[in-house]
Structure 1
Amino acid sequence: MKIKKIFFIIISLGVVIYLLPLRLLSDDLDKANKYYERYDYKYAIEIYERLLNDKPTLEVAQKLANCYRFINNTVEAEKAYATVLTFPGFDPINYVYYAEMLKQNAKFDQAKRNYLIYAERVPAKADEAVKLANGCDAARLWLENPDLNVKLVNESGMNTEYSDFSPIPYDKGFIFVSDREFLKPIVNKDNKSKKIYGWTGNPYLKLYQAENQNDTLDGNLKLTLMPEQINDQFHSGPATLSADGRVMYFTKAGVTNDPDVNTRKIKNLVMRKTIYYSVKQNGVWTQALPFPYNKPYEYSIEHPALSPDGKILYFASDMPGTLGGMDLFYSENTGSGWSKPKNCGPEINTPQDEVFPYVRKDGKLFFSSRGHITIGGLDIFSAKGEKSNWTEPENLKAPLNSPKDDFGIYYFDDNLTGFISSNRFGGKGSDDIYLFDTKPKAVFFAVQGEVVEKGTDNPISGVKIFLVNKSTGKETSLLSDADGSFKFNLDKETDYVVRGDLDKYFSRQQGEITTKGAKESTVYNVKFEVEKGEDAYLVRLNNIYYDFDKYNIRKDAEPELNKVLNFMSTTPNVNIELRSHTDSRGSAAYNLVLSQKRALSAENYLLKKGANKERLSAKGFGETQLLNKCSDGVKCTKEEHQLNRRTEFKVVKVTPTISYAPAYKLEPLFPSISGTK
C-alpha cells in the first residue's frame, strides 16, 4: 500500500512538472495578449519575443510582427513578418505588411516581389497590389534622383533620442511635440510608470516651448513644458496657432474607461484623439475647451490646421464618411461656431491614411499620406484649392520625403524654408525635426577647357577656339591662354558646338554640348589634344603620277596611297578629304573635271583596300592651287609642272571626347560668377 502511494506521488509530480511549462506559457500568452489589446505594444513585445523563442506559433509570430509595425520599428517588423511567412496557414495580407516594411527599409525589389505575390494569391486585390508594386519603381526613381537644390539639415538642438516633431513658431522660439523624459516618471507597484505610454514605452507626448537664447538652433534653447491648461497626464500635440498667435488648437487624448465604446471590448484605458483649443489672455493660456465635434467614444479627431484667415479648420479623422483609414476633413467658422465637418474629397483622401494637414500662407495645402504613391511610409504631398475642391496632390519627392515617415511640415513667411519631421535613418531619435531650404539657387552654365599638345600634354596658347550656338548660328571665338585654358559662359536650354581652328590643327577638334534639361549649375569640361604644323593636317602625296589626260592610279603611286590607309587605321577618329590638282596647261574648266576624276580614282583605290567610305571624300581643285609660278603663260620645265600635279589628303573632321563635370566649383576660373554648387 505504501509502495502504491509513493508511486502515485511520483506520477503526480511528473505530470505537474510536464504541464507546468505549458501553463506558464499559457499565462504569459494571456498577459501578452492583454497588453496587445490595450495597445501596450512595448510590454507585449517583450513577452512575445520570449514565447516565439520558447514555443513558436503563428499567433505569437503574427502579433509580434504587428507590434513592431504599430510602433514603427520597420527593421524588426521586417524580420518578424519574414518569420510569419514561414508558418502554414498565415493570412496572405502578411505579404503586403512584409512589403510595406521592406519598402520603408528601401528594399524596393523585394517589396515589389511580395506585392506581386499577394496579387497572385488574392486575385480580387490584384489591381491594387500591382499598383503598389509599380509604386516601388517610382519610389526608387525619386529616391535616387533627389532635388539637389533642396537643403535639409537635422536640427540637433531640438532633437533627442525620443520623438520630436511638428514645430511651429511661437513668441521668441517654437512650440513642438516630444515624448522626451523631461520630468522624472512616477513608478507604481507593478514597476510601470504612470507617465509611460505602453504603445511606445516612452513618456506621453507633450507640447513644449523652446525659446532661442542666441537666435540660433544650436542646442542653446530654453525648454519649458506648456502649462497644465494645455498638457494633462496623457497625450497633447501637435498644435496650430491663429495668425495673431492668440488661439491655439491642439490634439489631445480623449480618455475613457467604458468597455462598450470600443469594438475590442477593452476593459481598461482607451485613448482616442480629440481637438481642444485655448485662448491666450493677458499672457496666460485659458483652460482648454473641446472642439464641438469630438466623440472619443466613437472616433478620433487630430492634427488641427487653420487656414491663413482662420475661417477653416482642417484635421484628420476616422469619423463616419471616410474613404478608409484616417481622412482629412474641414469645418468652417460661421461666426457663431464651427460647421459640421465635411470630407475633403477623393482627390486628397484614399483608402489609406491622410494625416498632418498644414495650410501655407498662400493657401496651399500640405499633408502626409500612405495611400498616394509614396517613397516608403508617410510622404508629404501638396495640393491647391480649398475645402473639398483640390488639384491632384503632388509628392514632394526626395529629399523632403524618404522611405520612412515624413510629416509635420511648416513653412516660414518666405514660403521657401521651414521644418519637416521624419523618422528617417540617420536621425538622432524616433522622430526628428529637420530644417529645409528650397530657395532657388543661382543656376549658370559654362564650358571650360584646355588645349594641349598630343603626346606631351604641354599647354598650347594662341589656339583659336569657337563656340557656335546651333539654334542661332551665332559664333563666338577666343584664343587659349598661356596655360592653354579657355572658357565660355553658356545659355540655358541651348545646343552648342565647341571646335578648334580646323585650318591649323586636328585631333579631337569638335564636340557638341547641350544645356537642355540641366537643372543645376554645371560646367562642361573639354580637352583638345592637337598636333601642330602643316604636315600634321595636310599631307602631300608627291609621287602620284598620272598619264597625260588620264586619271587612273598607276602602280608607282600605290605606296603613297597606302600611307593614307595606314594613317586612317591608326587615327580612327578622323575623316579624310582627298584633294587632287592639275598643272596650268589646258583650259581651267577641263582641268577642274580632270582633277575631280583623279580624286575619285584615289578614293576608289582606298575603298577597294578596305577604307570606310563614310570617312572619305574626294574633291578636285583643277589648277586653282598651284604650288609655284607655273600659271598660264609662264614657261616652266616638266618637273615644275609635275609639282602641281598632285593629290593630297586633309583631315576635315575629328570626333572629340568631351568630358562632363557637373557641379564644378568655378571661383578660380570665373571670379565674376557666384552661387556655385
Structure 2
Amino acid sequence: MTSKFFNLKLLFYFFSFFSITSVYSQITQKDNIAPSTDKHWALTVYGGWSNYYGDLTKSRSPFATNFQLIGGNIGGAFEKRLSHRIVVRGEFGWSRISGDDNQTAEAGSFEYDRNLHFRNDLFQLSALGQIDILPHLGHYSQRRLVTPYVLTGVTVLFSNPRGKTTENNGSTWVDLQPLGTEGQGTSTTKPKYNKTVMALPLGLGVNFKVTDRLDIGVEWVTRFTATDYLDDISKSYVGDVFFGGNQLAAAMADRSQESIAVLTGEQRQVPEYKFGPGDKRGSNNVNDGYNNVSVRVRYILSKNKAPKDLSWLHKSNEHYTPISLHANKVHQSSTRENSRFAKYQDRYSIQNLAINTEGSERSPNFYYGGLIYSTDRNDRKHFNKKSRKSYYNFYFAPLHDLYRNEQTRPIAIDTVDLKGFHHHSAFQINDHQIIATMYSADLPNQEVAQHKLYMMDILGENIWKEEKELPFNNEHYSISEPTFSQDGNTMYFVSDMEDSYGGTDIYVSYKFKGQWTYPINLGETVNTPGDEVSPFLHPDGTLYFASDGHDGMGGLDIYESISKDETIIAVANLGSPINSEYDDYGLILNNVKRVGYFTSNRIGGKGGNDIYQLNVNEINVSRMLTDEHENLFLVEEMKLKGKVISKDTRAPLPRILVSLKNKETNALITKRTDSNGQFEFDISNESNYEIFPSAFGYKRMKATQISTVGMFGIGELEQTLLIESLAKKVKLYGKVTDKKTGDILKNIELVFISPDENENIYVKSDNEGNYSMEIDKDKKYFFFVEEDGFVQKNYAIPDLSKFRTVKTMKYNIRLEPKE
C-alpha cells in the first residue's frame, strides 16, 4: 500500500510540473505568436555511469550515490525538435547496477549479517520529452551556446538480477528470478516477478554548443520503477526446507552463514543465528530505482539551410535610397542619362495624395470603392512604446476623395484578428474574402518575423474575421504581397524561399480541386539576382511588378510584362515620371488603365514612403502602357444626353431625378430632367458609368450601364431611360362593426363615393362582417350607409395617396347607431 501511494505521489508531481512548465512556455511568448523555430532531427550517443538505490543501499534517495558499486551505461537516441521549447526523443540503452551488503553495511548490523548482493544488466527503451528552460529560436545554427533542460517520459526496461555463487557451487553468476529466492513461483499465491518493468524517468541536463551541428552535454536521470525486485530482494525469508532438494536456491536465498564475501574475497564475521521462515529479508514497502549520469554527444541531422540575410521585404525602405547605395545597381550608373526612360513621360502625370503623412504610406490596393493601404501614421491607438513608433495598420480611403485629392480622414481597419501584427498589404479577392500579408516584429532575438498570408472573411465593409493561414506560410521564408486573377484561381506572390534567383522573387500558384498547387518560380524573364516585389495582375492579364535587378533608373523600378501565348517573353520599364532614382513599387491600375496608384520614397514627398496617383493621359489601343507611340488616344470630354419616359404611357417625364455614377472614381452626380423630360451630363471617354432615374411614386429602376472605354472622336452619346410608376390601385378591406357595442354588422350595404368624379362603389359586408374593395389610391373617398338604425351621415376614409408603395390596407368601419 505504501509503495502504491509513493507511485501516485510521483505521478502527481510529474503532471503538476509538466503543466506548470507548459503554461510558462505559453505566457513567455509575445502576443501568443510563437517565434520561428527550425524543427530539426538529431542523433545522440552517450556513455556514463549508473547507480542503484533500493534494499541494498544505505539510502533510498535518488540523490544518494554509492561510489563503491557504480556501474556503466551506454546508449543512443534520435531526437526531433517540435517547437522552441519542446524536444521529443526515442532512446535505447544499457545500464549495469549492483549492490553488496558486505561492502556497504557495518559489521554487526542486520544488513551485514544478511550478506546479500546482486548485479543487474538493464536494457531500456525510453520515450522522452525534453523541455528547454531557455527557448531555441530560428535556425539550428542560431541555437544558444548553453541550453539547460528538464525531461520526463516513460521507460520500458528488461531486468534480470543475478548473484554469484560460492566456490562450492562453481563460483559463477546465476539468474536469481528462476530460483524463487523468496518463494516466488511455487504457488498461485506467489507468482514470479516480471522481468519486463515500467519506469518513470525524471531528469536534468545541459547542452553546450560546439559547432553549428555538434553539441556536448551532461545529463542526470533517475528512474522510479514499478518493481521492488531489481535486486531480487523485497519480502521475507522462507527457510531452507521450503526449497526441498534445490540446494542452489537455498544457498542463494540465505547467505548469512558464508564466512567469505564472494565479491571481495574478504573474511567476514558469521552471525551466531540463522534467519528463519518469516524473518525480514527486504523492505517490502518502497520500489527500487536507479540513476544514470551520462556525457552526451549530439549531432544535428537537419538539411534545413540557415536563413538568408533579410530580404527587401524585411528591410526599412522608408528613407531615400539613391542609386549609388544600391550595390546590385552599380552596373546601371551609365543609365542615368534619361533619354531611354523619358519616352513615355508625356503620356503620364503623377500627384502626391492628400492621405500621405509624415509617417510612411505604402501598398495600396482597391477595396470597396476606395483604397486600402498600410501606414505607420502616428496615432496613439497603434503606438509601439518599445520602438517609439506606430505599428503599420490598414486604413481605407474612398476613391472620390482621392480623385478630388481632398484631405480626408482615412478609416482604420480595427479588426481584432489583426492585432499584434504589422500589416503589410491586403488584396480583396471578391465581395466575401480578402487576403492580408502580416508579420510580427520585436520578437525575442529577431528583428522581424516572416511575412505570412491570412485568408479572411469579410463580415462587413471594414470588419474581417481570420479564417486560416495559407499552406505556403513557412517559418524559414516569407510569403507576401499576393495578387489574384479575376476568377480567383491564379495567385502571384513574392517570396524569398530557397529556389529564388536573388533576394525576393515572384511565384505563381494555381487552384486545383480547391487546393493551391506548389509555388512555381516565374523564371529568369521576370526574376533576377536582385529583388522583385509587389506584383499586380491586371484584369486584362498583364502582370506589373517592381524590381531593382532589371535595367532601370535606380532603386526599385516598376515594369510591365509582355506576353505571347500566355507566356511572359519580356518586361518593359515604365520610365519617368513613374520611376525615379529611388524606390518606386506597388503599382495598381483601374480596369481601363487610365488611373493608378503606386508607392515611392522619392524626394519631394511628405514622409518616408508616399502613395502617388498615376494619370494615364494617352494610351495605346492595345492597352499596354509601354507600346510605341502609334495608335495612341487621349482622354476626351463628351456629352451624355437623353430623356426619361414613362414605361406605361411612353410620355416624357419632367422634374425626374437622374443620377450618374462614375464607376472608376465612385463620383455621383444628380440632376433633374427639364420640362421636356430631358437631361445632359458631362462625361469623358475611357470610363464606365451607371445611370438611373428616381422619383416619388415610381419604382426604383435598375441602373443602366454605359461604357465609353475605347471611344475616341465621339463627342456625344444618347440614352433613353424608362421609369415605371408604382401601382395606383389599393385593396381596402376590414370589418364593419357597431361603434357603440362593437358587434359585427352583417349584410350592411355601404356606398363609396369619389367627390372628384361621378363614381359610386357599392359594397356589402358578408355574414362575418367582412368587406373588401379596390379603389384608386390617388383619389379621396368618403362613404355613407342607408341602413335603418344608423346615423345618416358621410364617413371619411384615410388619404391613401401618401402610401405610394402600399398595395393593400386594412380599414375597419365602425357605424354610429341612432339613439
Identify whether the pair has TM-score above 0.5, normalized to the shorter chain: no
> Greater strand percent: which structure?
2
Question: Greater helix percent: which structure?
Answer: 1
TM-score, length of structure 2 as denominator length: 0.35
